[in-house]
Structure 1
Amino acid sequence: MRLSSILALAASYAVTRVSAERHVVHFDNRCGFGIPTLIQGGNVLSTGGDYVSNGPLRSAIAYLQTGSCGFNGDGCTLVETTLVNPTCAGCGSSTDVSLIPPHKFSVTSGFGYYNGCDGVGADCTSASCPPTSAFHKTDDYGAQRACQTNDVNLAITFCL
Structure 2
Amino acid sequence: MLMRTTTLLAASTLAFVGAHAESHTVHFVNKCGYGTPLLKAAGRTLSTGADYRSSGPLVAAIAFLQTGHCGDNGEGCTLLETTLQNPTRPGGGSSSDVSLIPPHKFSVASGFGYYGGCDGAGADCKDANCPTAFRKPDDTHVQVACQSNDVNLAITFCE
Aligned to 2:111: 110
Give the percent of matched residue pairs that are identical in Structure 1 and Structure 2. Answer: 63
Confirm whether residue 26 of structure 1 aligns to residue 35 of structure 2.
no
- CA positional deviation for 1:19: 1.2
Aligned to 1:158: 157
Code of the residue aligned with 2:57 in structure 1: it is: P
Confirm whether residue 135 of structure 1 aligns to residue 134 of structure 2.
yes
Give per-residue Cα distances to partners, 1:72-92, cap 9 Å, x unaligned: 000000000000000010000
Which 5+ residue runs of structure 1 have no aligned equivalent?
none
Q: What secondary structure is seen at the aligned counterpart in 2 of 1:2? A: helix
Code of the residue aligned with 1:134 in structure 2: it is: A
Distance 1:2 1:84 in 2: 37
- CA positional deviation for 1:2: 1.6
Which 5+ residue runs of structure 2 have no aligned equivalent?
none
Aligned to 1:55: 56
TM-score normalized by the length of structure 1: 0.97
Code of the residue aligned with 1:154 in structure 2: it is: L
Confirm whether residue 88 of structure 1 aligns to residue 51 of structure 2.
no
4+ residue segments displaced more than 2 Å: none
- CA positional deviation for 1:156: 0.2
Alignment: residue pair count: 158
- CA positional deviation for 1:5: 1.3
Query: RMSD between aligned alpha carbons?
Result: 0.8
Code of the residue aligned with 2:79 in structure 1: it is: L
Aligned to 1:121: 122
Q: What secondary structure is seen at the aligned counterpart in 1 of 2:133? A: coil
Q: What secondary structure is seen at the aligned counterpart in 1 of 2:134? A: coil
TM-score normalized by the length of structure 2: 0.98
